Structure 1
Amino acid sequence: MNRPDRSPDVELTILMPCLNEAETLEVCIRKAQGFLAGHGVAGEVLVADNGSQDGSQDLARRLGARVIDVPRKGYGAALIAGIEAASGTYVIMGDADDSYDFTALAPFVERLRSGADLVMGNRFKGGIAPGAMPALHRYLGNPVLSGIGRLFFRPGIGDFHCGLRGFRREAILALGLQTTGMEFASEMVVKATLANLRIVEVPTTLSPDGRSRAPHLRSWHDGWRHLRFLLMFSPRWLFIYPGLFAFLLGTVTTVTLAIGPVKVGAVGFDVTTMIYASALAVIGFQALLFWWLTKLYATAEGFLPASAGYRRLASAWTLERGLIAGLLLFLLGVAIGVSQLVHWGSVDFGRQDAREVVRVAVPSAMTLIIGFQMIMMSFFAAILTVPHRSAAPTATGV
C-alpha cells in the first residue's frame, strides 16, 4: 500500500477509482485540478487504479495526479485503498467516467469545513441529464434501494447511492469499511449512520459518461448486493418485525382454534388452519431467536452498535432465565400431551374424534418445540458471550 507522509498542508484529496478509464480520465483530472486552483484549495488528485490495462496509470501521472496501484479487485477495494492513502483532511470521491462534475465541488467543501462528517450528493435534486441513468436505475433500482435504506437506517438523505460524496477522512477510516464491491456505497452510509456521524446532502448533477464501452455496474447483481448488505446490517427488519408478526399471528390463531372452530362469513377455520398456524408461530419464533443470536455476535464483534435498550435486555436475559422459561414451555407441552393421554385412557384407548385429538395435539407439539428451541438458544447465546482474553503474541527466540 502506498501510504503518504501526511501533510497538514493538504486539505482535500479528490479521489477517483479507476479501471481502464483512459477515455475519460484526463478530463476528470483536469476538471479536478481546475477546481483546486480556481478555489484556492490546497489539495491533490489521487487515482486508485484497480489494474487498468489501457495506460490509465501513465496518463494520470503525466497530468500530475498521484497514482496508487490496488491489486485487490473491486470498486470498494479501490476506494478503501484510496482513502487510506489520501493525504487530505477531507476526501471527495467520484467516478472517473466524466459523469460527475469535478468543477462543482464547492458545496461539498463548504459543508465539510462547517463540520459535516459525510456530505452526500443528491442527483435527483441536482438534475439527471437525458441518457445519464438507465430507466431501470432511475425509476426502480435507486428509488427502491434508497427507500429501503431510509426506512431501515434513517440517515436523512434522499440518494443513498450517489457516487459523488465528500467526507472527513479520519471519521470514515474509523468506521472500518470492509466491502470490496459496489455495495461499498451502502456500507459507508449505513455505518456512518450507526456511528451517529453528521451526514448532510447537497444537490449534484449527473451527466452521461464519456466512455464508449459498457459501464462496470451490473444492474441486478449489484442491486442484490446492495439489498443484501442493507438487510444484513438491519437485523430488526430482517428478523424482528417479520418474526414477531409471524409468531403473534400464528400463536393467536392456534390458541383461538384450540378452543373451537371459527367461522368468518361463509369461510370456516378449523384444525387444518390450526396446523399451519402453529408452523407459522414456530417459524416466527425461530426468526426472533436468529435476531437475538445475530445481535449478540454482531455487537460482540463490533459490526453493530449496542443500544441502551439492547444492553439492558442482554444483561437481564441470563442463561438460567432462558433455561427456566424454555423448560416451563416444554413442560407445558408435556402436560397438555399427558392430559390428552389420560383422556384417551378414560375411553379405554378406543376411537376418538380426529379433529378433537388434533385440536389438543397441535398446541402441545408447538410448545414442546418452542420450549426446546429456547433451551438450546440459551446455551448457544451463553457460548457466544463467554468472556475471553485476546490471544497474547507468542514470544519468539532470536
Structure 2
Amino acid sequence: GDADDSYDFSALDAFVERLRGGADLVMGNRFAGGISDGAMPFLHRYLGNPVLSFIGRLFFKISTGDFHCGLRGFRADSIRKLELQTTGMEFASEMVVRSALEGLKVEEVPTTLKPDGRSRPPHLRTWRDGWRHLKFLLMYNPRWLFAIPGVTLGVTGFLLAAALFFGPLEIAGGLTLDLNAFVAGCFMMVAGVQLLTFGILSRYYAAITGLLPSTKNSTWLLENVHTDRLVINAAICLAAGIGYFGYAMFQWSSAGFGSLVAPVIPRVVVLGLTLITLGLQLFFSGFLLGVLKIPVERNKVRQG
C-alpha cells in the first residue's frame, strides 16, 4: 500500500484471510469501505476512478469495483510470473488486468481511505495519469480498440452506401441524403476495414509475444486469417474496383467526356475507388501479417 498514511494498515486481517483462502490477488475497495472528506479529489472520486474501473470491468470481465486502490495483497510467486512491465501509475491497472487474463484468483475487500499525511503535494497528475490508465486498458484489448469500432463503422458505412447507391434517399422531416452521404458511407467502410485489419494484426502480435493469452476465438482467427487469404480478398476488391471505375470511364467517354446525366455514375466512380483502396489495404496488411509470422516459422523449424 501507499506509505502516505492514507490506508489503515492495522486492518489487514481480511486481506490475509482471502490470501490464505486461495486468492492470488486481493484488492481493496475504497468506495465500499469509505472515503473520508478530502481524501480523494472530486474528479478522481466521481469521474476518473469510477469510469476507468467500469471500462476495466467491461473490457476484461473483472468484478473489481476499484481498479486503482493502492492497498492490495498478493502472492509474490503468482505476480512475478506475470512479468509486469509498466513503470508509472498504470502499473495498478496492469496488475489487475494481467491477473485476470492469466486466470489468477482475484478477490476484493472493503478498505478505508483518509487524507494522506504527506507534507508535499502528491505526484499524481489527474489528466496525464488518467490517460495513461485508459491507454493501457485500450492497448490490452484489441477487440474494443479495433474490432468493435471497425465492425460498427464498416457495417454502418456499407448500409448507408447500399441505400444511396441508386440515388437520393428522402427521410423524415424533408431531409434528403445524396452523394455526399454516399461518399461518407464509403469512407466509413474504408475506416472500418482498416480498423479490423489493425485488430487482426495486433491480436496476432499479442499471441506470438505472449502479451495476451490464447482464446478459442483468437485461435480460430490466427488459423484462418493469413497472408494468402488476405491477398486473395485484396485481388477481388481490386478487380471489382477497377471494373467499376472502368465502367464509369467508358460511360464518360461515350458522352464525349462531357457532363453525365445519369446520377449513378459519380457513385460508381466513388465505389470503384473505395474498392481499390480496400484492396490495397488488404494487400499490404496481408504482407505485414506475413512479416509478423516469420519469427514464428523460424522457431518451428528450429524446434523441428
Q: Fold match, TM over 0.5?
A: yes
- Which residue of structure 2 lines up, in the alignment, with residue 240 of structure 1? 147
Q: Distance in 1 between matches of 2:256 and 2:27?
A: 76
Structure 2 counterparts to residues 345-384 of structure 1, below 5 A: 345-353=253-261, 355-384=263-292
Q: Number of residue pairs matched?
A: 298
Contact 2:4 2:116 in 1 (8 A): yes
TM-score by length of 2: 0.94
1:270 correspondence with 2:178: yes
C-alpha deviations, 1:213-268, integer Å up to 9, x for none?
11121111111111111111111111111111111111211122112210102000
Q: Distance in 2 between matches of 1:354 and 1:223?
A: 53
Larger strand percent? 1
The AA in structure 2 aligned to 1:259 is F
Task: Return 5+ residue gaps in structure 1 as ranges.
Answer: 1-93, 393-398
Structure 2 counterparts to residues 321-336 of structure 1, below 5 A: 321-336=229-244
| Secondary structure in structure 2 of the residue aligned to 1:120 | strand
Greater RCO, CA 8 A, separation 6+: 2
- Which residue of structure 2 lines up, in the alignment, with residue 18 of structure 1? none
Of 155, 165, 178, 2:72 maps to: 165
Cα deviation for residue 355 of structure 1 reads 4.1
C-alpha deviations, 1:4-50, integer Å up to 9, x for none?
xxxxxxxxxxxxxxxxxxxxxxxxxxxxxxxxxxxxxxxxxxxxxxx
| Secondary structure in structure 2 of the residue aligned to 1:159 | coil
- Which residue of structure 2 lines up, in the alignment, with residue 119 of structure 1? 26
Cα deviation for residue 348 of structure 1 reads 4.1
The AA in structure 1 aligned to 2:22 is G
Q: Distance in 1 between matches of 2:259 and 2:112?
A: 77
Cα deviation for residue 351 of structure 1 reads 2.6
- Which residue of structure 2 lines up, in the alignment, with residue 73 of structure 1? none
- Higher radius of gyration, 1 or 2: 1
Percent identity between the two aligned chains: 49
Q: Distance in 2 between matches of 1:327 and 1:279?
A: 20
C-alpha deviations, 1:263-283, integer Å up to 9, x for none?
102000111111122112111
- Which residue of structure 2 lines up, in the alignment, with residue 177 of structure 1? 84
- Which residue of structure 1 lines up, in the alignment, with residue 190 of structure 2? 282
| Secondary structure in structure 1 of the residue aligned to 2:74 | strand
Q: Distance in 2 between matches of 1:255 and 1:338?
A: 20
Larger helix percent? 2
Task: Return 5+ residue gaps in structure 2 as ranges.
Answer: none
Cα deviation for residue 155 of structure 1 reads 1.3
- Which residue of structure 2 lines up, in the alignment, with residue 388 of structure 1? 298
C-alpha deviations, 1:190-216, integer Å up to 9, x for none?
111111111110011111111121112
Q: Distance in 2 between matches of 1:304 and 1:339?
A: 47
Q: Distance in 2 between matches of 1:287 and 1:143?
A: 28
The AA in structure 2 aligned to 1:228 is K
The AA in structure 2 aligned to 1:188 is M
